[in-house]
Chain A
Amino acid sequence: MTATNGHRPAEQAGAGTAGAAQDTRKVNRVVIRFAGDSGDGMQLTGDRFTSEAAAFGNDLATLPNYPAEIRAPAGTLPGVSSFQLHFADYDILTPGDRPDVLVAMNPAALKANIADLPRGGTLVINTDEFTKRNLKKVGYETSPLETYELEPYVVHEVAMAELTKGALAETGLSRKEAERAKNMFALGLLSWMYSRPTEGTEQFLREKFAKKPQLAEANVLAFRAGWNYGETTESFAVSYEVAPATLPQGTYRQITGNQALAYGLVAAGQRSELPVFLGSYPITPASDVLHEMAKHKNFGVTTFQAEDEIAGIGAALGASFGGSLGVTTTSGPGLALKSETIGLAVALELPLLICDIQRGGPSTGMPTKTEQADLLQALYGRNGESPVPVLAPRSPADCFEVALEAARIALTYRTPVVLLSDGATANGSEPWLIPEVDQLPDLRVSFATEPNAPDGSGEFWPYLRDPETLARDWAIPGTPGTEHRVGGLEKADGKGNISYDPDNHDTMVRLRQSKVDGVSVPDLAVDDPSGQARVLVLGWGSPYGPIGAACRRLRSNGHAIAQAHLRYLNPMPANLGEILHAYDRVVVPEMNLGQLAMLLRSRYLVDAQSYTKVAGLPFQAEELENVLTDIVQGVEA
């Protein structure tokens, strides 16, 4: 049942056109999903294909999806790991809803992913794993390769393990070791199918296995064997080309969200000329930020793996007290543990960055899955009136800029700031237009260096504020004449001594709130090319991609729709109320049960309509397209 000519054009109308060469077709966009056992190296395979696409100049977006278990039982459904990659010759916004091509390394991968493959999609199957035993593990009575089950698809059956072992026969590796390179065979085959450059991967493999040249050579051989298999077997008569994308001019690299966040933190240290201190406790999906930061000690970065989440933020706050840029990174459960210290930072009025890489909750929830249900926790999850600015990146590369913005706010206003990323943003990747360092914001601060008491007493008043920003003076230990004590007990306005005075408490509560309310935030921009939209879709965080893709589809179908996306969740942009009231309908898609929608309804008295999904996976552009189309048609009717 191997087909030879069936690659369906991508979902978008007119995506497929015949190419110049008889056996190569041009397509605009392709979504590939590599799926296998968590021991099969699917994340590495996906990563490499991503690098090839990036090197070729395609726009791209990725979505890794892996189990929380380090090694779930081999061949079982919980052990399936996948990596989806969307690449195109134009700027794309999402990792793609459904794959055009599914690579299934075993029966479990097939079973777990086949429902997502549209009819006519391409299926590349490693037949060697389709043994009776493996089939039984996932509940296949008969092999789907022998039934009509896969008839709707274009199926390529490839004995990847055997072919890999054959190719590596001369290397001296055992058959078992040789078989482990089959993911590189798959990568080679797909690289041929999509006319990808190969030098980068070969170089990468040689560097990765530099200490084990035999393994490096084996992986390169497997990779080449896969490529040659595509070129020489008749079953793959057609290959495809996705031309480079026309993105804004400049130099690009590929970057993941967590990497961009770490770079943003390093850059914030350099631009503020402050040492960066990261106090952190390992937690999925935030640990990669700690790992990345630990590599950059040469930038004056200190990373401290603490005994727990509380110690991580405590040490960061201690470093801030001493004049460093204190940072802590975590996920939802860790944010819960840090809440008391965030409250202390609110009272101390010291700069502090708290990066929450959100994951499925409540409790331990789904550590490797994405969600954005910590918004209310970030805003309100503390005792007392405890306002903090909150920002959220909308995509992997956006993490860089948001980290710098969060640092600007923390340093300017002497306040803890929460940055809400999420699992999809953190592990996803996309091309990043590399910024020029001298164009990055200047974040330098000035410390108080002498007594400031307005009464001329020669005292230092720690809670004396800048009249414009309401930020208090920041004097660091080691400075003579500004010795002072801060603490979590309520402080007297100005002088900073302990105060139980009722009016003073009321004043301080309002001052802290005013300070955060007064954080300068750019106006919200609305994207409505028609200028005629009556429906606004407003999002925050990682749904930016699918919302944007859905809006494009609506517009190409002749509907007017406006899109706006909040980076600043607290304070919100000053023009937000005006924008919300300018539309007949406001729709808010969120991966929670409507947290932002609730805030908008209460603050702006707007009948915001919530669309929610809390499945641990990003929205699909298609589902949002359907939802928004219904709403727009309802308004138009």
Chain B
Amino acid sequence: MTTDLGLPALGGLDNVPTTDEQQKAKDYKSDQEVRWCPGCGDYVVLNTIQAFLPELGLKRENLVFVSGIGCSSRFPYYMNTYGMHSIHGRAPTIATGLATTRPDLSVWVVTGDGDALSIGGNHLIHALRRNVNLKILLFNNRIYGLTKGQYSPTSDQGMVTKSTPVGSLDTPFNPVSLALGAEASFVGRALDSDRKGLTEVLTAAAQHRGSAVVEIYQNCPIFNDGAFDVLKDSDDKQRRLIPLTHGQPITFGPDDERYGVVRDGQGQLQVAKLDEVGEDDIVVHDAEAVDTAQAFALSRLGGQDLNPTVTGIFRAAPRPTYDDQARAQTRQAAEANPPDLQGLLTGNDTWTI
């Protein structure tokens, strides 16, 4: 049963004040020296975000970046906006309180695979199911970098690290599958080096009203270098990367070697050579579907080996947000019953001496 609070459908940024002033990427750079390791994928992501924010045309003071702990969580210090570098795994909770009380803010969470999926796993799934209007950037480098190289919840099984000298035993999480399972209304994935793709997903996430999680494959040059190289190699990547476009048949591959995603006899998704199947058999991507089955199947299409790897927007299916509804309840309560503190304190059952 849902409660109809009579709320209008809104875009993700509808209550956030905008500016006519021309903004540039450098307006979003703080005076702090960026201190990630040379070659870290975080630089690229930071630059992409600083370059894309001016396009949103929001007042800079109405943006807030909240992070947890980890390499990527230094992010807020480098943004000339409001920001909070909080504690390990808890950024979604802080962002939830902030977004619920401040509809005029665009609230972003910056987190990593350890921060979001290990110590903060509980908060991530609950923020997603509640559908609080906040954007979660999940930097996935499949390793613990800040603590110098232990395996993470997205590391390959068998990975040899300082804490797993004979190989890790854990089955990794698939962050997109996890997010879809947690009722996320927006789920995207992009590659740190793919500025265009990342910008597209981030723009859509910002415009989406509700919790949006964007998994960003990010290279750690020190402790897990090259984890995503197969997706960057000009030859390999065309055969591996499956970009999603809403409403379009899902096809990929080099011009002379086209592939498509089809359903097999059991209804499972599979990759097939385009010239071996009919055009009508190609699955059409529907990011807005209420049923998450196809999006989930797409998230399982590639394994940990990245072969293939689906990118883009898996799901963008708006539903009422926690924060809009919470504010509506408060507003409606005040309208129906204007606050009277003396009346509350006095109550109905008094005696006088």
Q: List residues of chain A with CB under 8 Å of any chain B CB.
A: 51, 54-57, 200, 244-254, 263, 266-267, 270, 275, 277, 279, 296-302, 304, 306-308, 310-324, 326, 340-341, 343-344, 348, 434-437, 477-489, 497-498
Contact = CB atoms under 8 A, between A and B. Distances in A.
Given A248-B353, A348-B84, A263 B344 contact: yes
Contacts of A480: 59-61
Given A307-B126, A319-B100, A487 B90 contact: no
Contact of A314 (B77, B80, B93, B353): B93
A458 B326 CA distance: 38
From A51, A57, A319, name the one whose CB has the most chain B CB atoms within 10 angstroms.
Answer: A319
B3 interface: no
Contact of A435 (B63, B77, B345): B345
A479 B61 contact: yes
Nearest to A254: B349
A263 B96 contact: no
A56 B350 CA distance: 10
B109 to A, nearest CB: 11
A251 B350 contact: yes
Contact of A300 (B60, B105, B334, B346): B334
A334 to B, nearest CB: 14
8 contacts: A244-B353, A297-B330, A297-B333, A298-B337, A298-B338, A341-B87, A477-B63, A477-B64
A486 B79 CA distance: 12
Contacts of A263: 344-345
A477 B105 contact: yes
Contacts of B100: 277, 302, 304, 315, 319
Interface in B50-86: 59-64, 66, 69, 76-77, 79-86
A317 B353 contact: no
B131 to A, nearest CB: 14
A245 B351 CA distance: 12
Given A263-B345, A307-B122, 6 more contacts: A251-B351, A252-B351, A267-B341, A298-B339, A311-B92, A437-B341
B300 interface: no
A444 B170 CA distance: 53
B30 interface: yes
Contacts of A55: 349, 351
Contacts of A267: 341, 345
Contacts of B339: 270, 298-300
A544 to B, nearest CB: 22
Contacts of B99: 318
Contacts of A252: 350-353
A299 B101 contact: no
B346 A487 contact: no
B325 to A, nearest CB: 11
B102 interface: yes
A475 B90 CA distance: 22
B84 A321 contact: yes
B98 A318 contact: yes
A456 B141 CA distance: 42
A296 B344 contact: yes
B1 interface: no
Given A251-B351, A310-B93, A485-B82, A322 B102 contact: yes
Contacts of A344: 86-87
From A313, A340, A479, A487, name the one whose CB has the most chain B CB atoms within 10 angstroms.
Answer: A487
B93 A318 contact: yes
Contacts of A247: 353
A486 B334 CA distance: 33
A250 B82 contact: no
B9 interface: no
A558 to B, nearest CB: 31
A114 B47 CA distance: 76
Contacts of A484: 82-83
Contacts of B94: 314-315, 317-318, 321
A115 to B, nearest CB: 35
B273 interface: no
Nearest to B64: A477
B345 A437 contact: yes
B77 A498 contact: yes
A383 B86 CA distance: 15
A253 B350 contact: yes
Contacts of B123: 307, 310-311, 314
Given A304-B96, A341-B87, A249 B353 contact: yes
Do most interface residues of chain A lie in helix, strand or loop, or is the interface mixed?
A: mixed
Nearest to A481: B61
A246 B353 contact: yes
B200 interface: no
Contact of B101 (A248, A302, A343, A481): A302
Given A253-B347, A310-B90, A322 B96 contact: no
Contacts of A340: 87, 90
Given A314-B97, A321-B94, A477-B62, A488 B86 contact: yes
Contacts of A489: 85
Contacts of B268: none
B225 interface: no
Contacts of B349: 51, 54-55, 200, 253-254
Interface in B125-171: 126
A302 B341 contact: no
A136 to B, nearest CB: 43
A57 B85 contact: no
B229 interface: no
A260 to B, nearest CB: 10
Contacts of A245: 353
Nearest to B339: A299
In order of increasing CB-CB distance, the 9 nearest A-B pairs are A314-B93, A487-B85, A318-B97, A315-B97, A318-B94, A297-B333, A307-B126, A318-B98, A319-B97
B97 A317 contact: yes
Contacts of A51: 349
A251 B334 contact: no
B336 interface: yes
Contacts of A253: 346-347, 349-351
A551 to B, nearest CB: 25
B101 to A, nearest CB: 5
Contacts of B105: 322, 477-478
A344 B105 CA distance: 22
B83 to A, nearest CB: 4
Contacts of B95: 318
A244 B351 CA distance: 11
B84 A311 contact: no
B234 interface: no
B329 interface: yes
B334 A297 contact: yes
B32 A497 contact: yes
Nearest to B73: A487
A318 B352 CA distance: 43
Nearest to B99: A318
Given A252-B350, A270-B339, A485-B77, A318 B66 contact: yes
Nearest to A312: B93
Contacts of A56: 351
A141 B169 CA distance: 60
B129 to A, nearest CB: 9
B342 interface: yes
Contacts of A312: 93
A497 B334 CA distance: 41
Contact of A483 (B69, B80, B333): B80
A437 B82 contact: no
Nearest to B335: A298
Nearest to B77: A485
B96 A487 contact: no
B292 to A, nearest CB: 21
B77 to A, nearest CB: 5
B105 to A, nearest CB: 5
A469 to B, nearest CB: 23
Interface in B9-65: 30, 32, 59-64
From A275, A340, A484, A485, name the one whose CB has the most chain B CB atoms within 10 angstroms.
Answer: A485
